[in-house]
Amino acid sequence: MSTTVLLEDRETATRGYLEPRLLRDGFELVAAAEPKPDLVLAGDDAALERWRGEAPVIVLGRPEANPVDRARAFRRGCDDYVPRPFHYDELVARIHAVLRRTRRPADVLVAGPLEIDPRTRLVAVGGTPLSVSQKEYDLLLRLAADPIRVFTKEELLRDVWDFRASSRTRTLDSHVSRLRRKLRAFDTGTELLENVWGVGYRLLGVPLEATEEVTFE
């Protein structure tokens, strides 16, 4: 059965670009009047409000959006946020990541060469066990839930350390630094735990040289 996607975006250029490519990649595009879709691509706040809690929602952010806008969208219930201009390959990867997370939680989380078993709390890279502290494990588990999404520092401090207010603590940066040293000891062929300057961290970077950039005038 194909995945049903509702493209709730009023921009003709966006729809004209995405519709044939999503169909080419096996997605079934549906109208809002049809039964609940598997996923919604929302181009504005109204679409997010309509579908949050009903179906997974990825917001296609405006080009002028800033980190405050992104944080607000997550607080209002979106499952992911993709700012424009975006890479189509990255958008599809995010669609699959959201569907995996919302459809059927796996016993073992797999993110690139990294494997995390929540039942045993064991972490492995390329099949080789990785020794981590409790908070390092909690941090990896949070990032691996959506490995190509950029998590803000505020989100990670809140979710992993339960910090409820803005803080100048270096706790997160210190844990990331130690984790990166441990991960770099493995020959994975890719950089794990990427620092997205001025925003936060993500577990897996997207190889932009292999993607197609989309810019709308």
**Is residue 104 predicted with pLDDT exceeding 80?**
no
Q: Which CATH architecture has domain 106-217?
A: Orthogonal Bundle (1.10)
Kindly report the pTM of this predicted structure.
0.50
pLDDT at 208: 36
Higher pLDDT, 63 or 201: 201
pLDDT at 103: 67
Domain boundaries, the chain: 1-104, 106-217
What percentage of the chain carries pLDDT values higher than 70?
A: 89
Q: Is 106-217 in the same CATH topology as 1-104?
A: no
Residue from 90, 95, 111 nearest 210 by CA: 90
* 217 — pLDDT class (breaks 50, 70, 90): very low
C-beta pairs of 40-43 under 8 Å, 24+ apart in sequence: 40/5, 40/6, 40/8, 41/5, 41/6, 41/7, 41/8, 41/9, 42/8, 42/9, 42/78, 43/8, 43/9, 43/10, 43/11, 43/14
Domain 1-104 has CATH 3.40.30.10: no
